[in-house]
């Protein structure tokens, strides 16, 4: 068989130029800023690869309807009972706020979404949501599961959104201890060999100590994530700078790979600088310290001796 792809008098030169052009174009795509990169990626996602995403959405919907109906019914019943039990307290709170002249509670609306993971090489932190800006999803919508914070939306297309989970290198969240005493910033930290992926909490003052197992929740500062959503539990001292600050390992309450359904913030009614509090939605007993954190032990928390 003759190979196809061009042959002729100056075929070799043409082939060389073609190969060089492709290689340079690839390097160009790799080196340009993230904005144009994602514009190109969006174009491919919404055209050539869209049918495959739709297959996934259809399968997910079918699976939800068939296998998870009983579980969803149980959750709806639980929620109905919870709402019924708390309705008097909510009404009482509303009246008290009026009496003492406080503004009404700020509320944020959520929609249930199916969460898909592409599974392609290099897309480890990417999640695809089956709702887009037509349903009110926007570029900073938080993605929340029953266990806590999973990530946030990066791009909202008409009926599809692309988001990142907490393992993305750019993920950051302002968190606080559950009692609201200590505040810091969490970001992802690559897993050590054989260890679990985890977050690192920075910015804790030197003279404040956090016990292992302390639940860290979102503080609501910055306006992206609502207040009170569990992020993870303290799993050891990561780094200490004498007299200045401490850093801790945080083992997330949400495992991104296991997330198939979540809530995504839509039609945000919170104004600039206003905080939304979701603490009451997450009972204190939930989300124990993950097994991976216990198994890791001293190996899982390098620098526990304070040497970082």
Partner 1 sequence: MAVADRPLPGSPRLGIGSGVVVAVTLILVFFHFVLRLGLGIGAGAPDLLTVALLFHVRRVRFGTAACVGFTLGMLEDAFALVAFGANTVAMTVVGILGVQTRAFFVPTTSLSFHLIYFVTGKWLRDFIHWILQQAAGVTSGFIEPMILTAVPAALYAALVGVLVVKLIGPFSEGES
Can you give the binding site for partner 1, defined by CB under 8 A?
1-7, 11, 14-19, 21-23, 25-32, 34, 37-38, 40-41, 44-45, 48-49, 52-53, 55-56, 59, 116-123, 125-126, 128, 154, 162, 164, 168-169, 190-194
Direct distance between the N- and C-terminal alpha carbons of the chain, in angstroms, rounded to an integer: 62
Chain-centroid distance of CA 201 in Å reads 16
Shortest Å, Cβ 74 to partner 1:
25
User: Of the two residues 5 and 9, which places its CB atom closer to partner 1 in the complex?
Assistant: 5
Shortest Å, Cβ 44 to partner 1:
4
Per DSSP, the three-state class of 168 is: coil
User: Of the two residues 114 and 218, which places its CB atom closer to partner 1 in the complex?
Assistant: 114
Q: What is the four-CA torsion angle of 292, 295, 299, 303, rounded to 10 degrees?
A: 70
Nearest to 252 by CA among 153, 193, 168, 183: 168
Shortest Å, Cβ 138 to partner 1:
17
User: Of the two residues 40 and 81, which places its CB atom closer to partner 1 in the complex?
Assistant: 40
Shortest Å, Cβ 54 to partner 1:
8
Shortest Å, Cβ 131 to partner 1:
17
Contact 148, 230 (CB under 8 A): yes
Shortest Å, Cβ 114 to partner 1:
11
Which position has the token pair 């709806």? 76
Contact 154, 140 (CB under 8 A): no
Q: Tell me, what DSSP letter sits at residue 201?
A: E
134 beta partners: none
Shortest Å, Cβ 281 to partner 1:
28
User: Of the two residues 6 and 180, which places its CB atom closer to partner 1 in the complex?
Assistant: 6
Pairing of β 261-266 and β 109-116: antiparallel
User: Of the two residues 32 and 71, which places its CB atom closer to partner 1 in the complex?
Assistant: 32
208 backbone φψ class: left, alpha, beta (φ>0; ψ -120 to 50)? beta
126 beta partners: 164
User: Of the two residues 3 and 242, which places its CB atom closer to partner 1 in the complex?
Assistant: 3
Nearest to 139 by CA among 147, 149, 150, 151: 151
What six digits make up the tokens of 248?
């801790």
Which position has the token pair 């991976």? 292
User: Of the two residues 163 and 228, which places its CB atom closer to partner 1 in the complex?
Assistant: 163
112 beta partners: 263
User: Of the two residues 33 and 271, which places its CB atom closer to partner 1 in the complex?
Assistant: 33
The Cα 31–Cα 170 span in angstroms is 17
Shortest Å, Cβ 177 to partner 1:
28
């Amino acid at each position: 068989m003759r190979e196809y792809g061009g042959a002729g008098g100056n075929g070799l030169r043409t082939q060389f130029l073609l190969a060089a052009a492709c290689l340079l174009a690839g390097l160009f795509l790799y080196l340009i800023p993230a904005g144009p990169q994602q514009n190109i990626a969006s174009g491919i996602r919404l055209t050539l690869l869209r049918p495959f995403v739709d297959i996934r959405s259809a399968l997910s919907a079918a699976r939800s309807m068939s296998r998870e109906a009983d579980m969803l019914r149980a959750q709806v019943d639980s929620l109905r009972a919870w709402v019924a039990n708390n309705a008097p307290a909510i009404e009482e709170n509303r009246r008290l706020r009026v009496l003492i002249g406080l503004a009404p509670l700020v509320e944020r609306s959520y929609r249930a979404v199916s969460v898909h993971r592409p599974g392609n090489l290099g897309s480890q932190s990417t999640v695809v949501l089956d709702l887009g800006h037509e349903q009110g999803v926007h570029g900073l919508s938080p993605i929340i599961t029953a266990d806590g914070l999973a990530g946030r939306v990066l791009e909202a297309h008409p009926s599809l959104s692309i988001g990142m989970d907490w393992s993305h290198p750019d993920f950051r969240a302002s968190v606080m201890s559950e009692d609201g005493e200590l505040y810091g910033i969490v970001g992802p930290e690559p897993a050590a060999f054989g260890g679990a992926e985890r977050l690192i909490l920075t910015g804790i003052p030197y003279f404040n100590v956090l016990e292992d197992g302390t639940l860290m929740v979102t503080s609501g500062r910055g306006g992206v994530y609502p207040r009170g959503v569990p992020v993870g539990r303290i799993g050891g001292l990561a780094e200490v700078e004498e007299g200045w600050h401490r850093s801790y390992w945080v083992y997330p309450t949400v495992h991104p790979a296991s997330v198939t359904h979540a809530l995504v913030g839509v039609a945000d009614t919170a104004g600039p600088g206003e905080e939304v509090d979701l603490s009451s939605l997450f009972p204190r007993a939930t989300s124990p310290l993950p097994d991976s954190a216990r198994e890791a032990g001293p190996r899982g928390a390098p620098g526990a001796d304070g040497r970082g």
